[in-house]
Amino acid sequence: MAKRLDLKDVDIYYGDFHAVQNVNLSVPPRSVTSFIGPSGCGKSTVLRTLNRMHEEIPGARVEGEIQLDGEDIYARGSDAVAVRRTIGMVFQRPNPFPTMSIRDNVVAGLKLQGVRDKKKLDEVCEASLKGANLWKEVSGRLDKPGGGLSGGQQQRLCIARAIAVQPDVLLMDEPCSALDPISTLAIEDLIGDLKKDYTIVIVTHNMQQAARVSDQTAFFNLEATGKPGHLVEIDDTEKIFSNPQERETEDYISGRFG
Amino acid sequence: MSAALDAPERPAASEAFRAVSTARKVKNQLATVLVTLAFVIAVIPLVWLLVSVLIKGFPAIVSVDWWTKSLSGVTPDQARGGVYHAIVGTLVQALIAGIIAVPVGIFAAVYLVEYGRGRLARITSFMVDILSGVPSIVAALFIFALFISIGGLSQSGFLVGLALVLLMLPVVIRNTEEMLRLVPDELREASYALGIPKWKTILRIVLPTALSGTVTGVMLAFARVMGETAPVLVLVGYARAINFDPFEGNQASLPLLIYTELSTNPSAAGQLRIWGGALTLILIVMVFQLAASLISRYSAISK
Amino acid sequence: MTPDGDEAEPNTVSERTTQRAPSDDPATQDRPAGSATMSSVTDTQPSTTGSSRTTSGGTGERVFRALTTGSGLVVVVAIALIGLFLIVQAVPSLLANNDNFFTSPEFNTTDASNLRFGIRDLLAVTLLSSLLALVIAMPIGMGIALFLTQYTPSRLAQPFSYVIGLLAAVPSIVFGLWGVLVLAPAIEPIAAFLQTYLGWIFLFAPGNLPVLTGTIFTGGIVLAIMILPIVTATTREVFSQTPRFQIEAAQALGATRWEVIRMAVLPYGRSGFIAASMLGLGRALGETIAVLLVIRAATSPSHLSLFDGGYTFASLIASAASEFSQPLPTGAYISAGLVLFVLTFVVNAMARVVAGGKVNG
């Protein structure tokens, strides 16, 4: 189920603006890769090209290749909608559908794909909520709206919703930045559990978080505002935080910059 | 972006990335078609109407007399004279409405934004919504009941103006209110910090900042009321001659001219006058609309 | 559109403004509260006029406040007076009425000593034409709102909205003129078709007019065109406020554009759309001159068919306006106006309640 991601010579543009320059990296299956870097370095932009969410911005364009287990996600005839089904995403701000019940939120993706069998939906709902460590807290009120949960619970609901469709990769765009420390801890624990089954890419502003949850870390930087962001280096997390190859990385990690 | 993506050197997509079911794709396409169709459907009558009015009315408005003469002394079947008397009436009646509705509307908006709180403000805001939904015929009937039935006045252009006040007020209030809410609080605070009292702050700082938006609202309000027909049917008689005095006697206006010619004059000259009147009315309304959008484009506060 | 609002991309600026917009709202909503505290401070201060001019307790402040509050009151008083005077003028005629006001199809005021009037047919024609307008304008209005907010690139959305707005700028008498002289003959074949094939449904049964032009059917279509900009404007506004993050939630699940609309946009905008439709309905109920010109007078009572003719409340009043001389017959029409006032009051009040805070006016 979990698959590897490879980025080859990826350049990202918004209209005439060159947002990210020449990114090459690989994300192995069943691992957590974190993207770190200062604001504006393009880490979120890169993340959003991985499931083609960037296409929702008019004028956005990608050059180079992004492959999922060797298959180009931008191949001719491929559909962004289908790509997003196989590469799930969790956002900065928990975004359950406010009018839907907890159950309907979890199975929303499956229903889109035309699964109508109630028994199957209930099974997936339970399994996904268990997978997101939320089952115990909500099993008694699956018919209540998802908006009634706490911020941390909502975010786990969103993770449950993302894994319910059994994606190959899970992208997380600063999933804890809107949460309190205890909820953050719960999500971080969950990420540790999820990597047994999924390939995970997480963007974070919090370096400690990157150090805690990820197996490898990619550091992005930009020379100046208005210049394209670029990948400085990617390596095992331990190595990036203890003994990075590049001076820029070291400066950033040690807080001398950014 | 798709141009780059569909470049021929790209390999064809694997099954996994094309897995959106046909039914879903069809539904999606269908929705796109229907939604676009909705827009087209709305444009058809608009274009049809404008073209009809333009074609049928254009021959009437090209003559100089049309803009400078009344129908005084013109028999119904004669294709001469003009609608100057009706233009005058339309503008005079709208002006009367504006003189009353603009200051009251702006002050009411100031009240709602700057002073209003508690129950009275809520009721006022609610009543503004209600007033904006009051049909023009009801506004006209009210003025009729108050000033003619009870007050004993006779019909006049001035009473039309009063009815139009009721229709203008909510437009002025809502537009001004919206602009006042866009004025940043920092401006108010900066003024308070200088020791300027609140009312002077509002008059000298807040209102001038919101001015262009307010003027836009006023223009739109004028555009709305000048096409109103119901009040002129109830509150004033039609005159074929020029009457500048809104307090005395009958006074024509473009809607009243159109209605009168339509219901009493089946001749070719009458037909021409109807469509010419309609085109003239649209042109005048458009001028105010255009002024409104030009002013709002150069608005001081960007939305 | 990226949640990471600080990515270096050209969208950053607009992005931030859109992100800030929601947090701006509370700020603007806070203001009345803020100014409330300010003014309550000044209220509690002893008005030592002269010495403390800057604490805004001065004469200028009081005069200005009275002026603005008074202007606000004008609106409240106007509505109250409209209700009051319509009632005052209607009651004598209602008392002198020799027929049942609610059930009689007749509206005969020629003999002031024997008034016979009722609103049954007025209500039927008003509701039929307005509801037909609504049935047509609701789906089309929603479609246009979706087209403008979800399908049109932002560069074109503005001019396209302007085009729809032009519909609102056309005076109703011009709609009436066009409706009766151009549209009515053009759609007669459609009416004939409907009557031939759907005539077994009471709505499409032969009506009380000898012809198929100038029917409620024609009037309803004209009204639909007229209320379309109202339905569209408010709905578009609400749809465009759909939170970005909810749209993204659906997109990230692999929803097609239409599915995104179903999952995020429509649930968010439903109440606004309903409110917009009610505003449109209110407008249709009270529309006067277009209906008066388009729908023909009928000699026999209504059959509840769309191919009936007749008068609506508004068009009846306008048609009789030139004969308002004797108080009692005039009062009969004013009582019809009173019913119309109550109808539109209720519809507009409901629109406001349904909309909650989302729609203004």
- Give domain limits for chain C: 119-355
Q: Does position C218 have pLDDT exceeding 90, yes or no?
A: yes
More confident residue, B10 or C124: C124
Say which amino acid occupies B74: V
Using a CB-CB distance cutoff of 8 angstroms, which residues of chain C are in contact with residue B107?
A: 67-68, 70-72
Q: Does position C37 have pLDDT exceeding 50, yes or no?
A: no
Mean pLDDT of B242-265: 91
pLDDT over 90, % of chain B: 60
The answer to whether C309 contacts chain B (CB < 8 Å) is no
Mean pLDDT of A211-224: 92
From B4, C12, C16, C15, select the one nearest A17 (Cα to Cα). C12
B226/C287 CB distance under 8 A: no
pLDDT over 90, % of chain C: 62
**CA-based nearest residue in chain C for residue A54:** C2
How far is the C-alpha of C361 from the C-alpha of C356, rounded, in Å? 11
Mean pLDDT of C188-200: 92
- Contacts of residues A146-152 at CB distance under 8 Å and 24 or more positions apart, as own/partner, are A146/A96, A146/A97, A146/A98, A146/A100, A146/A101, A146/A102, A146/A105, A147/A96, A147/A98, A149/A96, A149/A102, A150/A183, A151/A94, A151/A178, A151/A179, A151/A180, A151/A183, A152/A179, A152/A180, A152/A182, A152/A183, A152/A184, A152/A186, A152/A187
Q: Does position C49 have pLDDT exceeding 50, yes or no?
A: no
The answer to whether B298 contacts chain A (CB < 8 Å) is no
Chain B 69-88, residues with CB within 8 Å of chain C CB atoms: none
Q: Does position C29 have pLDDT exceeding 90, yes or no?
A: no
Q: Does position C153 have pLDDT exceeding 90, yes or no?
A: no
pLDDT in tens, A175-215: 998 888 988 999 999 999 999 999 999 999 888 999 999 99
The answer to whether A57 contacts chain B (CB < 8 Å) is no
Mean pLDDT of C178-196: 94
The topology under which CATH files domain B84-297 is MetI-like fold (1.10.3720)
pLDDT in tens, C312-358: 999 999 999 888 888 889 999 999 999 999 999 999 999 998 887 54
Alpha-carbon distance values, B197 to C60, C63, C64, C66 (Å) = 9, 13, 11, 15
Confidence band of C287 (pLDDT split at 50, 70, 90): very high
Strands, E assignment, A122-215? 169-173, 199-203
Mean pLDDT of C246-266: 93
Mean pLDDT of C204-224: 92
Q: Does position B260 have pLDDT exceeding 90, yes or no?
A: yes
Give the pLDDT of residue C259: 94
Residues 6 or more apart from C192 whose CB is under 8 A from it? Answer: C212
Indicate the residue of A40, A81, A222 with minimum beta-carbon distance to C255: A81
B32/C76 CB distance under 8 A: no
How far is the C-alpha of B140 from the C-alpha of A192, rounded, in Å? 73
Domain residue ranges in chain A: 5-253
Give the pLDDT of residue B9: 57
Q: Can you identify the CATH homologous superfamily of domain A5-253?
A: P-loop containing nucleotide triphosphate hydrolases (3.40.50.300)
Mean pLDDT of C64-92: 94
C345/B130 CB distance under 8 A: yes
pLDDT in tens, A107-131: 999 998 888 899 999 999 999 999 9
Mean pLDDT of chain B: 89
Chain C 250-309, residues with CB within 8 Å of chain A CB atoms: 250-256, 259, 263-264, 267-268
Q: Does position C359 have pLDDT exceeding 90, yes or no?
A: no
C254/A44 CB distance under 8 A: no
Mean pLDDT of C107-115: 87
B114/C293 CB distance under 8 A: no
Residues 6 or more apart from A162 whose CB is under 8 A from it? Answer: A88, A89, A90, A109, A170, C252, C253
* Cβ pairs bridging B and C (under 8 Å): 311
Say which amino acid occupies C335: S
More confident residue, B265 or C43: B265
Mean pLDDT of chain C: 83
Using a CB-CB distance cutoff of 8 angstroms, which residues of chain C are in contact with residue A92?
A: 3-4
CATH architecture of C119-355: Orthogonal Bundle (1.10)
Confidence band of C52 (pLDDT split at 50, 70, 90): very low
Give the pLDDT of residue C11: 37
Distance from CA of B4 to the nearest CA of A (A): 8
Domain residue ranges in chain B: 15-62, 84-297
Give the pLDDT of residue C143: 97
Chains in touch with B (≥3 Cβ pairs < 8 A):
A, C
Report yes or no: C217 and C186 within 8 Å, Cβ to Cβ. Answer: no
Confidence band of A257 (pLDDT split at 50, 70, 90): low
Torsion of CA B278, B281, B286, B289, to 10 degrees: -130
pLDDT in tens, A40-80: 888 999 999 999 998 888 888 999 999 998 888 888 878 88
Distance from CA of C353 to the nearest CA of B (A): 10
Q: Does position C54 have pLDDT exceeding 90, yes or no?
A: no
Give the pLDDT of residue C154: 82
pLDDT in tens, B45-98: 999 999 999 999 999 999 999 999 888 888 888 888 899 999 999 999 999 999
Q: Helix, strand, coil: what percent of chain A each, to 5?
A: 40, 25, 35
